[in-house]
Amino acid sequence: MPSLIAGRQDQTLLDEVLALVVDDDRRMRQTMRTLLQSFGYTVVLCEAGADAFTVLKHNAHASLIITDMVMPHMTGIEFAQLVRNNSELASIPIVFMTGLASESMLAQAQAFKNSKLLHKPISTELIREAIEELEPHVESGSLSRTETFIALMLHQGLAPKTIAERRGKSISTIRNQISSISAKYGLRSLGELREFLGSNPHEVERLQLFVRGGRGEE
């Protein structure tokens, strides 16, 4: 049965962004949970594709799927095909992980749109780069998914240095992204941005909906 580290209703908005990890190796599931939680995700762990698909049907707003390719009963490819054939789940980004897959399976994985293929052993940097590459962007002039994460972290009161540590980025990179976010809102400083987010719950809700897979109101 899948194990769920569920976000409670009183948790912060960022903690409600769901990532699903599917792997029959318990140690790999635990490793990925720790890693993804450091990125701000609430993590659902499953050891089999069938369980994972059941979880997804009740959590269609999941933002990310990370799945092993070689598993008993249902391969990662078969699981991904179920996801892509479901209209409510089809747009969720998928990261495939493999250490033993055949050339045929590798070719099938690479054929999936909105997906990345990573070879084990998996490093923190590989996962981070894959996630950032898969993060979609909203319409021109709006925040990217990465910027949205940062805006929500600022709304929670986190300092730029803490955000840099959690995102695995340099403080200068985070400051540049904060400047970009401020400019897109027509603001001039970090203080103005915090004040704006603190006084606009509707905008914060819209950002939450976006990182959870929705767009909110335009």
pLDDT at res. 142: 66
* Res. 137 pLDDT band, cuts 50 70 90: very low
Lowest-pLDDT range of 8-17, 45-54, 74-83, 144-153: 8-17
The pLDDT of residue 135 is above 70: no
pLDDT at res. 212: 67
pLDDT greater at residue 172 or residue 106:
172
42-46 sheet: strands from edge to edge = 3-4, 42-46, 18-22, 64-68, 94-98, 115-119
* Res. 8 pLDDT band, cuts 50 70 90: very low
Could you tell me which CATH number the domain at 145-211 has? 1.10.10
State the Cα–Cα distance between residues 149 and 55, nearest whole angstrom.
24
List the chain domain ranges. 3-134, 145-211
Q: What's the Cα-to-Cα distance from 29 to each of 3, 22, 86, 93, 197, rounded to whole Å? A: 10, 7, 25, 18, 35
State pLDDT tens for residues 177-191. Answer: 898 888 888 888 999
Lowest-pLDDT range of 1-5, 43-47, 83-87, 191-195: 1-5
Lowest-pLDDT range of 20-34, 90-104, 151-165: 90-104
Q: What mean pLDDT comes out for the span 117-143? A: 72
Sign of CA dihedral 109, 6, 2, 54: negative
Could you tell me which CATH number the domain at 3-134 has? 3.40.50.2300
The two three-digit tokens of residue 161, written as one number: 């240095």
* Res. 131 pLDDT band, cuts 50 70 90: confident
State pLDDT tens for residues 39-79. Answer: 777 889 999 999 999 988 887 678 889 999 989 999 999 99
